[in-house]
């Protein structure tokens, strides 16, 4: 692991760790959002999909372990880079009494914190069933977990719908700016392609966030009639 320690010891190394772990989470959110849209196909399809994932052994655990490594590394690299950046700016601005931060940096920081709280709440809600222990007892006629009923009931509460949609707004800003700077860090930037890079980040973030938000909003409005 000495290659990783060497990489981690430098500012550019931390940026690369942040970009690569961000890319991993992008891949996950794209897959997760696409799967969630199956709710619109009705209970059989959605429960079939949830059952396939839950019984997919290596895919499920491979994804969980990758995320358990990627998300903390993403957060730690972000915190360390912010500190390094603040230190450098405070020195540069010492004589000017300017604020040592930008609105974008503030949005990434506080939006990122909100997303962290969201992920913990989300796991407690739908994966660990800590907020609603009854979700664990919902079964389909085949005796599999009734994930469809769980999601419909979970979003029958406007407070949860509000929390999810608000968190998706934080995800929007985070993905929009994150996708853009990730390309830069990974060296995929060229003045000729800057507009394309900017547009890709915008469209990607909008698709992910609108796709995710459509589920709680649809359930709240229709009660989940498929």
Where do contacts with ligand HEM occur on this chain (CB under 6 A)?
29, 32, 36, 50, 64, 67, 119, 122, 126-127, 147, 151, 164, 171, 212, 215-216
DSSP assignment of the chain equals -HHHHHHHTSHHHHHHHHHHHHHHHHHHHHHHHHHHGGGGG-HHHHHHHHHHHHT-THHHHHHHHHHHHHHHHHHHHHHHHHHHHHHHHHHHHTTTT--S--HHHHHHHHHHHHHHHHHHHHIIIIIS--S-GGGGG-B-TTSSB-HHHHHHHHTTSHHHHHHHHHHHHHHHHHHHHHHHHHHHHTT---GGGHHHHHHHHHHHHHHHHHHHHHHHHHHHHHTT--
Residue 214: count other Cβ atoms within 10 Å of its Cβ. Answer: 16
Q: How far apart are CA 130 and CA 132, in angstroms?
A: 6
Smallest gap, in angstroms, from Cβ of residue 136 to ligand HEM?
10
Q: Which is nearer to ligand HEM, 88 or 120 (CB)?
A: 120
Q: Which is nearer to ligand HEM, 8 or 126 (CB)?
A: 126
Smallest gap, in angstroms, from Cβ of residue 161 to ligand HEM?
9
Q: Which is nearer to ligand HEM, 167 or 181 (CB)?
A: 167
Smallest gap, in angstroms, from Cβ of residue 107 to ligand HEM?
17
Q: How far apart are CA 148 and CA 217, in angstroms?
A: 15
Smallest gap, in angstroms, from Cβ of residue 50 to ligand HEM?
4
Smallest gap, in angstroms, from Cβ of residue 167 to ligand HEM?
7
Q: Which is nearer to ligand HEM, 126 or 200 (CB)?
A: 126
Q: Which is nearer to ligand HEM, 104 or 117 (CB)?
A: 117
Q: Which is nearer to ligand HEM, 122 or 132 (CB)?
A: 122
Smallest gap, in angstroms, from Cβ of residue 98 to ligand HEM?
34
């Amino acid at each position: 692991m000495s290659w990783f320690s060497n990489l981690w010891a430098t500012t550019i190394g931390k940026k690369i760790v942040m970009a690569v772990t961000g890319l991993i989470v992008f891949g996950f959110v794209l897959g997760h959002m696409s799967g969630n849209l199956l709710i619109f196909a009705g209970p059989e399809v959605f429960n079939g999909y949830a059952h396939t994932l839950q019984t997919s052994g290596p895919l499920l655990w491979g994804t969980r372990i990758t995320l358990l490594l990627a998300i903390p590394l993403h957060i730690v690299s972000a915190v360390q880079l912010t500190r390094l950046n603040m230190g450098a700016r405070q020195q540069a601005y010492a004589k000017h009494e300017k604020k040592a931060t930008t609105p974008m940096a503030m949005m990434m920081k506080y939006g990122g914190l909100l997303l962290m709280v969201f992920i913990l709440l989300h796991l407690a809600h739908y994966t660990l069933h800590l907020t609603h222990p009854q979700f664990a007892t919902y079964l389909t006629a085949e005796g599999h977990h009734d994930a469809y009923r769980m999601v419909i009931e979970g979003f029958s509460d406007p407070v949860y719908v509000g929390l999810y949609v608000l968190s998706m707004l934080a995800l929007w800003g985070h993905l929009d700016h994150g996708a853009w700077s990730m390309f830069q860090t990974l060296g995929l930037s060229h003045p000729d392609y800057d507009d394309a890079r900017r547009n890709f980040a915008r469209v990607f973030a909008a698709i992910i966030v609108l796709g995710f938000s459509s589920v709680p909003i649809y359930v709240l409005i229709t009660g989940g009639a498929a």
